[in-house]
Amino acid sequence: MQRTWTSTRGLAKGLIVLLAAMLILAGCSGGNKGGNTTDPGTAGTNNSGAGTETPAAESGEKVLTIANPTDIESFDVHNNNNTFSEAVMVNVFDYLLKNDSSQNKQPSLATSWEQVNDTTWRFKLRDDVKFHNGDPFTSADVKFSLERVAKDSGLKQHTYYKDLKEVNIVDEHTVDIVTNNPDPIMLNRLSRMGADILPSKYIEENGMEAFLKAPVGTGPYKYSNWAKDDRIELVKYDDYFGGEPKWDKVVFRMIPEASTRVSELLTGGVDIVSNVPATDIERIDASDKASVEQATIQRVLHVLMRTAEGSVTADPKVREAVELAIDKQAIIDSIAGGAGIPTRTSVTPGNFGADPSLYDQQLYDLDRAKALLKEAGYESGPKITFTAGSNYKEVAEVTAAMLTQAGFEVNLEILEPSKFSETYNAKGFKELFLLGVGNSLFDASNNYNRFLKENGKGETDYDNAEVEELLQSAASNMDPADREKQFQQVQQHIANDRPTIYLYQMKGIYGVSDRIAYAPRLDEMFFAEEITLK
């Protein structure tokens, strides 16, 4: 879907109010009537309606059904790069250690760990774990998995693990993980996406393609079926080392249209829905079927811009005009129902390296934004393409209207989630695109390493020698106080240079069936073992 907002249409502040009102009416209407998201494989339509499916099957099985707006990328745990993928994978695969709901490190496949020296960590492994195909879990699996993601630059998670030099096998259930340089956040890395442990024997004997068709992990649930852009079905693994799983089956359904997700919740088709629009909160809470749970999450929405020569947004004045044109608080109030905090950084409180001076801040100044465009030589307004996924459609529409008020001529491109993900991975966006970014490392490096020169190529093309030096130094700086200052300096540079404009920290808004007890997590994970029947 493409929509063009042009300054010649005389958009004024009233348009934003009108647009917000239209979105509220659309959110209250229920059903999938918008036609703006056209995903032929999506659930929530006639091929899988609530009338023929219920979370608890007639056989008496305990079935948990969760609705997400987008699908996983694949079952290659080292080649995924979005939170929705990780939220599924954590039920099938395990890390050496895991974060509890308060982000404290807990044993998982490893029973204990110690730092031997600046570049070596030793992990003792469980000796009672079997993969879903019956293969025993050993040190060989840790070596295979971590060295794979560390050495294969084609994998999407490689950038987080590329400094890992080798995994040395001490014995069948002890490993030493060695890095090229000191790593101040090694434990953070090993408890997040990309550090999942794969079955080395199974893959070496059958190949990765065979594994992707029938993936095998050590988690509480094992793979049963994946109908792309429709659903993933997992079944309990009776030999799980953590004890008998709580559910017989866990189903993740992909329903891009928010109103359809909510309708499925209220008609009993699903137990939990994520990304509930603010306009649907009252409808859910007023029902006798479900209620709304809200929680602060790591995710920050931001608008990334190309800075390369030849792009309209290469001009710093144009980028500044973009920021000054956007009334972040108005977006939060009109679209998110007040559930958000404006910010000029994505390192939010509770994450290492946060700069409080940039949090809960905005610089909205429409008159100055208009003046900057004239100073940049644009009397009639620069033309820009602004791309967003359909899950952020409403935010993108209001943002486009605000940019138009400032004098931009905006070509708004709304892509269905799978197409957005494909374009994102190919670095195929034009001047601006809207992205929601979490922080699974709970560290400033997670979000700001994208501004390293090499990582920024084709995305923002950002190149600042001082930022480069600060980020490279922070990667191996074992002095927490000094490292924190380095990241704070980086954030100030980014706030001034504006390769991206941070909008606001989101709150997770979930619809939860009354038959379910569920407490949303800061990291947005769906650990089925933490979700129970009432």
pLDDT in tens, 201-212: 999 999 999 999
pLDDT at 277: 87
CATH number assigned to the domain with residue range 298-508, chosen from the 4 options 1.10.10.10, 3.10.180.10, 3.10.105.10, 3.30.360.10: 3.10.105.10
For the ranges 22-26, 316-320, 364-368, 487-491, which has the lowest average pLDDT?
Answer: 22-26
**Between 59 and 284, the higher pLDDT residue:** 284
**Digit-coded pLDDT (tens) for 404-425:** 999 999 999 999 988 998 999 9
CA dihedral sign of residues 356, 359, 360, 362: positive
Confidence of residue 24 (pLDDT cuts 50, 70, 90): very low
pLDDT at 19: 56
Question: Which residue in this structure is represented by tokens 């249409």?
Answer: 9
Question: What would the two tokens of residue 493 be?
Answer: 């540079």
Q: Is the pLDDT of residue 238 over 50?
A: yes
Q: Is the pLDDT of residue 428 over 80?
A: yes
pLDDT at 38: 30
Confidence of residue 103 (pLDDT cuts 50, 70, 90): confident
Q: Is the pLDDT of residue 271 over 50?
A: yes
Tell me the average pLDDT across 219-227. Answer: 98
- Distance in angstroms (rounded) separating the CA atoms of residues 218 and 142: 12
Tell me the average pLDDT across 97-112. Answer: 92
> Among 425, 450, 460, which Cα is nearest to 156's?
425
Confidence of residue 337 (pLDDT cuts 50, 70, 90): confident
Question: Which residue in this structure is represented by tokens 């009334």?
Answer: 327
CB 348 within 8 A of CB 523: no
Determine the length of the chain: 534
**Between 425 and 271, the higher pLDDT residue:** 271
Q: In whole numbers, what is the pLDDT of the chain averaged over residues?
A: 90
Q: Is the pLDDT of residue 8 over 70?
A: no
Q: Residue 343: how many CB atoms within 10 A of its CB?
A: 21
- As annotated, the residues of the chain forming the CATH 3.90.76.10 domain(s) are 94-200
Tell me the average pLDDT across 52-58. Answer: 48
- Distance in angstroms (rounded) separating the CA atoms of residues 471 and 491: 11
Helix, strand, coil percent values for the chain (each to nearest 5): 35, 25, 40
Tell me the average pLDDT across 507-517. Answer: 95
For the ranges 45-49, 179-183, 224-228, 388-392, which has the lowest average pLDDT?
Answer: 45-49
DSSP H helices, 376-506, are: 393-406, 417-425, 445-448, 453-456, 465-474, 480-497
CB 226 within 8 A of CB 75: yes
**Which positions ≥6 away from 209 have C-beta within 8 Å?**
none
pLDDT at 498: 98
Question: What would the two tokens of residue 214 be?
Answer: 């029938």
**Between 4 and 319, the higher pLDDT residue:** 319
- Phi and psi for 110 in degrees, rounded to 5? -100, 140
- Residue 137 DSSP one-character state: P
Confidence of residue 1 (pLDDT cuts 50, 70, 90): low
Amino acid at 251: V
pLDDT at 398: 97
Tell me the average pLDDT across 210-228. Answer: 97
**Which positions ≥6 away from 427 have C-beta within 8 Å?**
457, 458, 459
Rg from Cα positions in the chain: 23
Question: What would the two tokens of residue 475 be?
Answer: 């990667």
Q: Is the pLDDT of residue 16 over 60?
A: no
**Digit-coded pLDDT (tens) for 171-189:** 999 999 999 999 999 999 9
**Digit-coded pLDDT (tens) for 382-395:** 999 999 999 899 99
- Phi and psi for 230 in degrees, rounded to 5? -125, -65
- Distance in angstroms (rounded) separating the CA atoms of residues 275 and 82: 15
pLDDT at 224: 98
For the ranges 25-29, 94-98, 458-462, which has the lowest average pLDDT?
Answer: 25-29
pLDDT at 156: 92
- As annotated, the residues of the chain forming the CATH 3.10.105.10 domain(s) are 298-508
DSSP H helices, 326-464, are: 328-334, 366-375, 393-406, 417-425, 445-448, 453-456
Burial 372-390 (b: 16+ CB within 10 A, else e): bbeebebeebbebbbbbbb
Cα distances (angstroms) measured from residue 239 to each of 58, 129, 130, 420? 25, 8, 7, 38
User: What's domain 61-92+219-289+514-533's architecture?
Assistant: 3-Layer(aba) Sandwich (3.40)
Q: Is the pLDDT of residue 124 over 80?
A: yes
pLDDT at 364: 98
Question: Which residue in this structure is represented by tokens 């559910």?
Answer: 247
Q: Is the pLDDT of residue 37 over 50?
A: no
Backbone torsion region of residue 99, taken as left when φ is above 0, otherwise alpha when ψ lies between -120 and 50, otherwise beta? beta
- Distance in angstroms (rounded) separating the CA atoms of residues 131 and 216: 6
pLDDT at 417: 84
- As annotated, the residues of the chain forming the CATH 3.40.190.10 domain(s) are 61-92+219-289+514-533
- Residue 198 DSSP one-character state: P
Q: Residue 58: how many CB atoms within 10 A of its CB?
A: 6
Amino acid at 522: L
Q: Is the pLDDT of residue 27 over 80?
A: no
CA dihedral sign of residues 311, 316, 363, 342: positive
Q: Residue 60: how many CB atoms within 10 A of its CB?
A: 8
Element of type H or E holding 413: strand 409-415
Instruction: Say what the alpha-carbon torsion angle 426, 427, 429, 434 is, to the nearest 10 degrees.
Output: 110
Instruction: Identify the three-state secondary structure at position 394.
Output: helix
Q: Is the pLDDT of residue 100 over 90?
A: no
Q: State percent of the chain over pLDDT 70.
A: 89
pLDDT at 2: 52
Confidence of residue 240 (pLDDT cuts 50, 70, 90): very high
What would the CATH number be for the domain defined by 94-200?
A: 3.90.76.10
- Distance in angstroms (rounded) separating the CA atoms of residues 186 and 445: 12
